[in-house]
Amino acid sequence: MPETQLNVRIAFVGGGNMARSLIGGLVRQGMAPSLIAVAEPNAELREALSRDFGVGVHAEGAAAAAGAAVILLAVKPQVMRTVCESLQPAVQAQAPLLISIAAGIRIDQLEHWCGGSVAVVRSMPNTPALVGAGASGLCANAQVSAVQRGQAETILGAAGLAVWIDEEAQMDVVTALSGSGPAYFFLLVEALEDAAVAQGLPRDAARALATQTALGAGRMLREDGEAPAVLRQRVTSPGGTTQAALDSFAASGLRETVARAVAAATERGRELAAKSEG
Ligand SMILES: NC(=O)C1=CN([C@@H]2O[C@H](COP(=O)(O)OP(=O)(O)OC[C@H]3O[C@@H](n4cnc5c(N)ncnc54)[C@H](O)[C@@H]3O)[C@@H](O)[C@H]2O)C=CC1
Ligand SMILES: O=C(O)[C@@H]1CCC=N1
């Protein structure tokens, strides 16, 4: 990754699922594992990260953060305040770029918990990052330099697509769309599988066909370049089977149902942020 090659020290605080997927992406893209340090209290996870990627592992956040130009916070929102407070001396001494991937934790909270002025990128990735097909929204505060923006983009981009969001308030919408979004598509595949079984198809065949249809539709959305509505129209022969299904979706208010679900998820993100006030 020439322009995107990272040659600065990165500390991951939290070595769970999301951290693992981001670390895997960086190492696959050629980043030297010796530049990556991970703090993870769970010894089994620590050993697995060391064995699988050759990264440095520590039990404590402060040990991993020592000398890091980028500190990526990959812990659950509930422990974020304690973790930031423990990192305060390192953050104040080293002035690193701080990247948080925690749902619902705001930039001003992170600044406050880390002891004041600090460059922060708030990000919302999603679980397809585990297979290199993630989608992340990124939002930076004013202290983040152009170089640091590039670093954040490289780290999140190593696991898929990274999109900058200007207004932090919109990060709750990103969470509701792409953060939670994989679950919506999984639900649709579940429902399609069950529906096909109800119509007489064996379950194995129903799951295989529903899964591959989701993959095929996703790849066409990315690779064809046409708008989703155009791709949909191309499948829909007048008076045919697709039209019958789409008419039924419309009669059930599918678009309104989706709009209500995304509104509920956005609102929940706001509530979670309010709960973690401090
Ligand atoms: N799972 C998802 O779909 C998404 C999750 N996120 C966010 O990513 C963050 C991490 O989520 P996951 O990786 O799914 O969770 P996870 O539970 O797999 O990983 C969190 C890790 O943090 C470790 N940890 C706990 N206390 C610690 C401390 N004091 N210092 C260092 N490490 C500590 C835990 O042992 C655990 O391994 C969360 O804030 C979540 O909101 C963001 C986007 C999507
Ligand atoms: O459901 C949640 O709250 C988290 C945020 C995005 C995906 N999982």
Predicted confidence (pLDDT) per residue in 128-137, tens digit: 998 999 999 9
Query: What is the per-residue pLDDT for 1?
Result: 40
Q: Which atom of ligand 1 is nearest to the CA of 175?
A: 43
Is the CB of residue 174 below 6 angstroms from any atom belonging to ligand 1? no
Q: Is the CB of 188 under 6 A from ligand 1?
A: no
The structural domains of the chain, ordered by start, are: 10-174 (3.40.50.720), 181-273 (1.10.3730.10)
> What per-residue confidence (pLDDT) applies to 4?
56
Q: What is the pTM of this model?
A: 0.91
Q: Confirm or reject: Cβ of 45 under 6 Å from ligand 1.
A: yes
Percent above pLDDT 90 for the chain: 89
Q: Which residues of the chain have pLDDT under 50?
A: 1-3
Residues in contact with 119: Cβ distance below 8 Å, sequence separation at least 6, in sequence order: 95, 96, 97, 98, 140, 141, 143, 144, 145, 148
Enumerate the known binding-site residues for NADP(+). Answer: 74-77
